[in-house]
Structure 1
Amino acid sequence: MQALFADKQVAMTASGEGPPLVLLHSLLADATSFDPVVTALGRDFRVLVPELPGFGHSAPAPGGLEAVADRVAAAVREATGGRPAAGLGNGYGGFVLLLCALRHPTLFERLVFADCGACFSEPGREAFRGMARVAAEKGLPAIADTAMRRLFAPAFQAAHPALMAERRAAFLRTDLAVFQAACAALAGLDLRARLSEIRVPALVLVGEHDEATPPAMARELAAGLSNARFVLLPDCAHVPQLQRPEIFEAEVAAFLQPQVQPLVEPHAVS
């Protein structure tokens, strides 16, 4: 069931029972990219899946990523009644989650970053500038192939044509102005100096074939956080929940359930 929060500006679905778990989607995907894992996670958690500002039924949040994070934080706080939640962000959603944790430190008690980082390399920054430039000149269809390549490795695309058609259609529904603003924000983002401010336990996941946010970015993120564990997911690219949902869900559930998750020492990276 979908409801509106933060002065009716953020659409969010809720399912399952238990402590709250918030899932934030990628820029090149949408909230439905979590569908393969929502049911399993909903056995232990109340799973909240917002459509990020400017996506689906959620209103845009002008003012950059900070404004997006503040809007998401307001919606989460309302949806949970102020109860600390677990947060999981994939790609762009991971960067939003990182800013939420920095700007609203009591909002989340555990964090999962899936295929993101704290800062892009210069080639990574230029990739965002290039996608925004081509999209402005020719529209989103002109970069659809590029977007799919950043989500999935070529071999996976060839083996899953129906999923590729579904993901391409979802990408083409993205608002062009929101996409351009997000690309510009990600191209200029550098949160490395602030990572040590985040004290809650974190899990950093990344697909071994991720070209959008390569494993080196995720390793840098895990090393900069005060209490983080790093996991490389085999045979995955940028959206592991769509490629290996059983492995993705198992890693997330094990981390979020304290009774089966050992304490993580600061800077522990495996």
Structure 2
Amino acid sequence: MDRLLANGTVNASQSGEGPPLFLFHSLLSDRASFDAIVPELEGSFQTIVPELPGFGRSRAVEGGLVAVADRMAEAVKDAADGAPTIVLGNGYGGFVALQMAIRHPEIASKLILADCGAAFSEPGREAFRNMARVSREKGVEAITDVAMRRLFAPDFQELHPELMRGRREAFLRTNPDVFRAACDALASLDLRTELAGVKVPVLVLVGEHDEATPPRMSHELAAGLPHAELKIIPGCAHVPQLQSPRQFLGAMKGFLL
């Protein structure tokens, strides 16, 4: 079922029983990117999959990643009602989850940060600046191929045309202003000096072939966190929960207990 959180500003689906588990989606995707793993998770957790601010029916917020993280902290507190909460973020959702944990240390009992990091290299920053510029000049349609390449390797795209059609359609539904604001935020992001303040256990996951947030970013992230474990997911790119749901779930299994 869907429910509204944070004073009606965040739309989320909720299913299952147990301790709350939040799933934050990536910038180039939507909450449907978790559809393949929710049935397994909802057997043990109250699984809550929000649309991040500005996506779907969730209200946009101004103020960059900090404002997005604060809005999601409000949503988590609303849904969890004080219960210990696990938050999983993929890509952009991982950056939101990390920023949220830094600003609201009590918000999560555990974090799973999949295919993100604490800061981009200069080429990584430039890629976001370019996507923002081209989308501003020509619309998000003009960067759809680039976006899909950041999510999936070409051979995976060729083998899964139906999945790719759905992912393209999801990306084209993205609010252009929200997309550009997120690109600008990620292009300037640097949370490395704040990682030591995250005291909860963190599982850092990354697809072996992730080009959007390369594995070196996850290595740096895990090294900067006080209580982190890093796992590389073989054969996967930026959204391993879509590309190989069984591997993704297997990588999390021991950590979720």
Normalised by the size of structure 1, how large is the TM-score? Answer: 0.94
SS state at 1:18 partner: coil
Q: Deviations over 1:10-66 (max 9, x none)?
A: 001111111110000000000110000001011111111010000000000111100
Q: Deviations over 1:174-193 (max 9, x none)?
A: 00000000000000000001
Residue matched to 1:244: 244
Residue matched to 2:219: 219
- Asked whether 1:162 is paired with 2:170, we answer no
Instruction: Point out where structure 2 has 5 or more consecutive residues left out of the alignment.
Output: none
Aligned-residue CA RMSD in angstroms?
0.6
How many percent of aligned residue pairs carry the same amino acid? 61
Q: Is the 8 A contact 1:41 1:253 kept in 2?
A: no
SS state at 1:77 partner: helix
- Asked whether 1:37 is paired with 2:37, we answer yes
Any runs of at least 4 consecutive aligned residues in structure 1 with deviations exceeding 3 A, and if so which? none
Q: Shift in Å at residue 254 of structure 1?
A: 1.8
Q: Deviations over 1:60-103 (max 9, x none)?
A: 01111000000001011011112220010000000000011011
Kindly report which structure 2 residues correspond to 1:38-187, keeping only aligned pairs within 5 A, or say none.
Answer: 38-187=38-187
Residue matched to 2:26: 26
Instruction: Point out where structure 1 has 5 or more consecutive residues left out of the alignment.
Output: 258-270
Q: Shift in Å at residue 167 of structure 1?
A: 0.1
SS state at 1:108 partner: coil
**AA paired with 1:197?**
G
Residue matched to 1:260: none
Q: Deviations over 1:191-242 (max 9, x none)?
A: 0011011111110000011000000000100000001100000110000000
- In 2, the alpha carbon distance for the partners of 1:79 and 1:250 equals 26
- In 2, the alpha carbon distance for the partners of 1:165 and 1:110 equals 34
Q: Shift in Å at residue 243 of structure 1?
A: 0.4
- In 2, the alpha carbon distance for the partners of 1:27 and 1:142 equals 16
